[in-house]
Amino acid sequence: MKTSNVITSLLFAGSVLVSCTENFEEINSNPNAPEQVSANLLLSTVTSEITRQLTQEGYSDGNTITQLMAKNNFPGFSQFDWGDQGMWNLFYSYLPEINDILEISRAEGTQNATYEGIALTMRALCFANLTDLYGYVPYTEAMSGESSGIFTPKYDDQETVYNGVLQDLADADAALAKGETIAGSTGDVIYDGDAAQWRKLANSLRLRYLMRISKRRDVSAEMQAIVNAGNYISNNADNATLVYSGTSNTDSWPESTGRIGGFDEKSLCTTLLDYFELFNDPRLDIWFDRNSDGEWVGIPIGLNQDNARAYDDQYSPSRLDVELFYFSRTAAQAYIMKNSEVQFILAEAAERGFITGSAETYYNEGIRASLSYWGVSDADIEIYLQGAEVQYDGSLELLLTQKTIALWNVDYQGWMDYRRTGMPALETGPDDLNGGRYPVRFLYPSSEQTLNKANYDAAVQAMGGEGDDINTPGWWETGNRY
C-alpha cells in the first residue's frame, strides 16, 4: 500500500486531482521512489511522532488547563481564547500510515500479528483523542478517500467512535496475545516490538477509555475481566515511554531545542503550589526551581498579557526546573501512558465498585509509581504516604487530585478527568474570556468549514451547541450513572 493514501478532504482535498487520465499512475510514477514502504519504517515515524507530540502538548497546554503550570507571557490559552489547537491535523495525518501498517500486517507474505496489534492500538489512541478533544469526528468514512472516493467524510457521534476504539483495543489484545516476533529492526521506539508489553498498553488504554465512558455504561464486567487477566501496565518498567537519544533536535526533548526566553514563559501555577504545600510534595523541587529570592512562588491561571507580565515582574514566580526541562536533551521523556495513571484508574474503579480490590491500595500504588518515576527514594515515598493530607480516606477529590498531578505532561488526560468528574475543582482565572465557564472541547479547524462544510454543519447541530462552541459537552461527560 502506498504511503500517500488520502484520508479526508480536510487534510488533502486541495491536493487531490478530481479528473485523471487513464495513464495517470503510469505517467506520474517515479522510478527512483519506492512504491512499497516496510512496516518498520512506518512504525518508527508513527510511534515517535505521536508520542513526542502528545507529550509536548501535555507540557505546553495540558499542564496549563489542569492548572499545574501557568504562563507569564502569551497567556491566551489559559484565558480560554481558543482557536484551532492543531491536534486534528496531528492525528489525521498519521492515521493513513497506521492504516498502512495494519494492511501490511494482514497481507500475505508480510503478515504479522504483533504489527497488527500495535497498529490497532495506535489507531484506537488517535481516534479516542480526536473524539475526546472535538466531539463528533470523521471515523467510519475517515480513510475512504482512495478506496471509496469519499473526500468529504461524515462525522460520527462519540458513542460510535468509542465502540470502535474499544473494539480495536480488544482485537489488539487478541493479536498481541499470539506473541509473534518481528525479525530485524522493528521500528518501534516504545517497546521495540515486544508483543507482551504492547498487550499491556492496549489493555491499559482499555481501562482508561472504559472509565471515561462509565457515566454512560456499566463497564464493571469489562474492567474486572482485564484486571483478572493481569495483562496491563502494573509497574514502571511497563511504562509506554520514549527515551530521547539527543543525537538531533528531532530526537531530543523539544524544550531543549528552543530559546531560553520561550522556556522562561512557563511558571509554577498557584493551584499546583497549593497542592504541593498541602501534601509536602517532593515533586515541587523536581519540576520547578525556587525564584531569585529562594522562595516558591506561583502565578495564577488566566491572567491577561499585561497582568501576567506585571505579576511576573513583581513576584518572580518559580520557573520550571532548567536542568531537567531545558539544558538536558535526554533527561525528560515522552510517554503515552504510565503505571501511575493505571493505578489511579483502578483506585477509582474500586472506589466506585466497578472492580474488586482495595481503592486505598491502588491509590497508594499510584502515588508510589509517580514519585518513583521522578526519582524519589522508597524511604521518602513511605514518609509521604503517611502525611495526614495524603492518606487515603475514600475521597474521590483527593484521589483525582493526586491523579491529576501524576498526569503531568500526559497530553490532556487530566482535563478529560475534570470534564467527567468535576474533580479536582478548578476555577477560571481573573481575566477569563469564556464567561466564567471551564471549556470542554476544542474548536474544529477552520478548514473544515471550507472543505467539508455540510458535514461540519451537521456535526455542530447534532452536538446541540450554539455553533462550534468550546462549552458544548460530549456524550461521555453527560451521563448520569454517577
- How high does pLDDT run on average in the chain? 92
Helix/strand number for the chain, H first, E second = 22, 6
Q: Is the pLDDT of residue 69 over 90?
A: yes
When pLDDT is averaged across residues 457-480 and rounded to a whole number, the result is: 93
Q: What pLDDT score does 63 carry?
A: 98
Q: Is 453 inside a domain boundary?
A: yes
Q: What pLDDT score does 4 carry?
A: 39
Domain extent for 140: 38-243+331-478
User: How far is it, in rounded angstroms, from Cα 76 to Cα 171?
Assistant: 41
CB atoms within 10 A of CB 289: 17
Q: What pLDDT score does 253 carry?
A: 97
When pLDDT is averaged across residues 166-180 and rounded to a whole number, the result is: 98
When pLDDT is averaged across residues 52-81 and rounded to a whole number, the result is: 96
Q: What is the pLDDT of residues 120-138, one digit of tens each?
A: 999 999 999 999 999 999 9
The CA distances from residue 169 to 53, 122, 136, 347, in Å, are 22, 9, 20, 22
User: How far is it, in rounded angstroms, from Cα 347 to Cα 356?
Assistant: 10
Domains in the chain, number: 1
User: How far is it, in rounded angstroms, from Cα 266 to Cα 261?
Assistant: 10
When pLDDT is averaged across residues 460-471 and rounded to a whole number, the result is: 91
Q: Is 257 inside a domain boundary?
A: no
Q: What pLDDT score does 35 carry?
A: 56
User: How far is it, in rounded angstroms, from Cα 130 to Cα 133?
Assistant: 5
When pLDDT is averaged across residues 160-168 and rounded to a whole number, the result is: 98
Q: What pLDDT score does 37 carry?
A: 80
Query: What band does 106 get if pLDDT is binned at 50, 70 and 90?
Result: very high
Q: Is the pLDDT of residue 236 over 60?
A: yes
Pick the range with the lowest mean pLDDT from 146-155, 200-209, 210-219, 250-259.
146-155
Q: Is the pLDDT of residue 24 over 60?
A: no
271 in Cβ contact with 356 (< 8 Å): no
**Grid cell listed for 2:** 502506498
Q: Is 192 inside a domain boundary?
A: yes
Q: What pLDDT score does 12 carry?
A: 38
User: How far is it, in rounded angstroms, from Cα 168 to Cα 128?
Assistant: 11
When pLDDT is averaged across residues 159-185 and rounded to a whole number, the result is: 97
Q: Is 269 inside a domain boundary?
A: no
Q: Is 456 inside a domain boundary?
A: yes
Query: What band does 374 get if pLDDT is binned at 50, 70 and 90?
Result: very high
Which CATH number belongs to the domain containing residue 64 in this structure?
Answer: 1.25.40.390
Percent of the chain with pLDDT over 70: 92
Query: What band does 204 get if pLDDT is binned at 50, 70 and 90?
Result: very high
